[in-house]
Amino acid sequence: MTVRIGVIGTGAIGRDHARRINQVLSGGTITALSDVNRASAEAVRADIAPDATVFDTGENLIASPDVDAVLVTSWGATHQQYVLAAIAAGKPCFCEKPLATTAEGAKRIVDAEVAHGTRLVQVGFMRRYDEGYVALKAALAQTGAPIMVHAAHRNPSVPEAYTTPMAIHDTLIHEIDVFRWLLDDDYVSARVTFPRSCARTHAKLRDPQIVTLVTAKGVVINTEIFVNCHYGYDIQCEVVGEDGVASLPEPMAIKMRLNASLQNPILTDWKDRFVASYDVELQDFLKAAAQGTASGPTSWDGYMAAVASDACVQAQESEGQAIAIAHPDRPALYAQG
């Protein structure tokens, strides 16, 4: 079966996912598009999906009989309304992070999906599909029970509109999710420390920052977020266990002996760093959607990430203080997620 997909939000990632579905992956075809900026949806139709219909609203797209499943790649603040509408229509839905901008909003999605009774939502936490993280998770069987994680999430630069809380909602959110999955654990507290701000930042962004998360099993995770690091896009992760240390592999790069130095190029654009995992996550979505369901990261994962990220923002505001993170009971629908 070919799953007929509607894409809500045709900015950078929506356009890229539409391209994947029509040109790279199997089992799906784009039949519908919508964007607040209609010209952007028209452009994706012209370039990638000539047979698609452009809808005025995401709600009309979801209701269309020509749409079997939905991709929500619009602006973060609109995700919740579209995911809820897709659940109400009983259509599988892939939602980019964040699932909702507040924990309360994410909880509404969990409740709606639980009431529906089967899974319909996959959250776009693509790092779980990255070869490096998958290999790292497997390596933990040899390095023994984890004790500490040292991690870094560095961007060369960010747009002027990026402010201090976005370091959590927009950036750390990937670590928040992937470490729950990697360690099979939940968070109990968060604390934020600010070194002096770097010269390249601006008044509304304290950069860098160090977030310390403690898990229920007592693992301490230190993550440096540095979004004006200038030199490249760099994701680091080292897990210290009882018997050894396991590190996330570097992306493949050609080693060069050149101009009297030994060099390894470093990526600069985040879209390139996890490019392969976007393909794998969406293929997974198409496969499950063909059966009228969803797999991969759940609404519960999206909700737990939102709960932890709200606590991290609170920890930023009360610099140096540990903020407790609740982990409510997991509904049976998400038993394995």
Q: Which residues bind ligand INS (CB under 6 A)?
A: 155, 170-171, 174, 227, 270
Select 34 or 171, whichever has its Cβ closest to ligand INS. Answer: 171
Q: Are 240 and 223 in contact (CB under 8 A)?
A: no
DSSP of 235-249, one letter per residue? EEEEEEESS-EEEPP
Residue linked to tokens 């949806």: 41
How far apart CA 177 and CA 254 sit, in angstroms, is 30
What gap in Å lies between CA 244 and CA 246, rounded to an integer? 7
Of residues 182 and 227, the one with the C-beta less far from ligand INS: 227
User: CB of 227: closest distance to ligand INS in angstroms?
Assistant: 6
Distance between terminal CA atoms of the chain?
Answer: 26
Rounded to 10 degrees, what is the CA torsion of 239, 335, 174, 95? 160
CB of 155 or CB of 164, closer to ligand INS = 155
For the bound state, the minimum distance from the C-beta of residue 104 to ligand INS, rounded and expressed in Å, comes to: 22
The residue number with the shortest CB distance to ligand INS is 171
Q: Closest CB to ligand INS among 79 and 174?
A: 174
Q: How far apart are CA 98 and CA 202, in angstroms?
A: 25
Nearer to ligand INS, 59 or 224 (CB): 224
Q: In a 3-state reduction of DSSP, which class is residue 89?
A: coil
CB of 67 to ligand INS, least distance (A): 26
Quickly tell me which residue has 């509109």 as its tokens: 161
Looking at the Cβ atoms of 80 and 155, the one nearer to ligand INS is 155
Nearest-approach distance from CB 93 to ligand INS, in angstroms: 19
Tokens matching residue 171 = 């950036």
| Calpha distance 11→37 (Å, rounded) | 9
Task: Report residue 69: phi and psi, to 5°.
Answer: -150, 155
Least spacing, CB of residue 95 vs ligand INS, in Å: 14
11 vs 144, which CB is nearer to ligand INS? 11
Q: Residue 306: which H helix or E strand, with range?
A: helix 299-317
- In the complex, what is the shortest distance from the CB of residue 286 to ligand INS, in angstroms, rounded to a whole number? 22
